Amino acid sequence: MADLTLRRRPVLRLRPGQTGTTVAVAVLVVAIGACLLAPVLWPLDQSAIALDQTRLPPSFAHLAGTDDLGRDVAHRTLYGLRVSLLVGAVAALVATVIGGVVGGIAGTFGGVVDRVLMRVVDTVAALPHLLLGIFIVAMLRPSLGAVILSVGLTHWLSTARIVRSEVLSLRSRPFIDAAISGGASRARVLTRHLLPHVLPKLALATTLMVPHAVWHETALSFLGLGLPPHLASLGNMINDGQGSLLTGAWWASIMPGLVIVIVTLALAAVVARWRDRLDPRVRAELQL
């Protein structure tokens, strides 16, 4: 009887939400792998056009059809995804560094320094992120670097608050008092004693920021403030495909739109699963 009971047990029992996370991880692995291998397996000439193959519907030759200039939509979507993921990752890292420095200094030094830095955070937070990002890109002229700086300079506020609150809670710990009593400077206390305890939250905050940074880059490119029009970008492709929708060539904008939605949702699902594995107090602090 015991043997029969054992046989009835499933070989693999997934916890609630684990199936969705597994699918999300598989989507990200495929997407990132395709992006990394694209220059080798499927090279793209950004300036190549074929005016005799414009607005062709999806087929075996062109899986997602062609656009107004005869360029393969699936081909350009893959390279546009490369740009979006690159911008999202680098911009999230820039925002984390800025937020970590501001929050760490505010929490370590306290007093006037803390009040001034937090007022700067409140002032920037009061401004619409998209409008501020448009202003930054307009000042620097549209380019990949300008988009990265635009996203990074408008998304560091939550990280700064998280780091500041963590540093303030750590300052009352006995090992910090011992370091200060031993003659350690505030800069040394911050870099050698406080920073190692904050790094896990910084890593999670960076990951949480990537999907939002990808959407922000897509929005800027859609408005014509991202990469130059001839370069592959998901935002540029969606913007270019608007005119094709009126002529029935829906595939020119549907393909990049679906890809950006699926990949960002998969990334958000994986990050949310990681976040939920932390204790409730940490989850509450890391809500962006």
Q: Consecutive sets of 10 residues in the chain, 288 residues long: mean pLDDT of each?
A: 43 53 89 88 77 85 85 89 89 91 86 91 88 86 85 89 86 74 72 76 82 84 77 82 78 87 87 66 48
Secondary structure class of 72 (helix, strand, coil) = strand
Tokens of 105: 């200094």
Distance CA 288, CA 285 (A): 8
How many Å apart are CA 105 and CA 147, to the nearest integer? Answer: 27
Dihedral sign, Cα of residue 194, residue 200, residue 201, residue 202: positive
Q: Which residues contact 270 (CB under 8 A, 6 or more apart)?
A: 21, 24, 25, 28
Tell me the CB-side half-sphere exposure of residue 152, using CA atoms within 13 A. 19
What tokens were used for 126?
């009061």
| Interior angle at CA 240, CA 58 and CA 82, nearest 5 | 75
As a whole number of angstroms, the distance between CA 156 and CA 96 comes to 6
What 3-state class would DSSP assign to 66? strand
- What pLDDT, on a 0 to 100 scale, did the predictor assign at position 95? 92
DSSP assignments along 77-110, one per residue: HHHHHHHHHHHHHHHHHHHHHHHHHHHHHHHHH-
For residue 277, the model assigns a pLDDT of 67
pLDDT value at position 99?
92
Q: List the domain boundaries for the chain.
A: 72-285
CATH number of the domain located at residue range(s) 72-285 in this protein: 1.10.3720.10
DSSP string, 183-197: T--HHHIIIIIIHHH
Q: Are 152 and 91 in contact (CB under 8 A)?
A: yes
Instruction: Give which of 192, 198, 196 is closest to 167, Cα–Cα.
Output: 198
